[in-house]
Amino acid sequence: MTTERLAARVRAVLFDLDGTLIDSAPDLAGACNEMRVERGLAPLPYADLRRMVGSGARGMVGVAFGVVPGQAGYEALRDEFLARYEARMTRETRIFDAMVPVLAWLRDEGIPWGIVTNKATRFAAPLVAWLGLADQAATLVCGDTVAHAKPHPAPLLEAAMRLKLVPGDCAYVGDDRRDVDAGRAAAMRTVVATWGYLGAGDAPEAWGADHLIARPDELPELIGVLPIAAAVDSRQRSPSRSPLD
Residues carrying an active site annotation: 16, 18
CA distance 117 to 177: 13
Please name which of 84, 16, 30, 57 lies closest in space to residue 243, comparing C-alpha atoms: 57
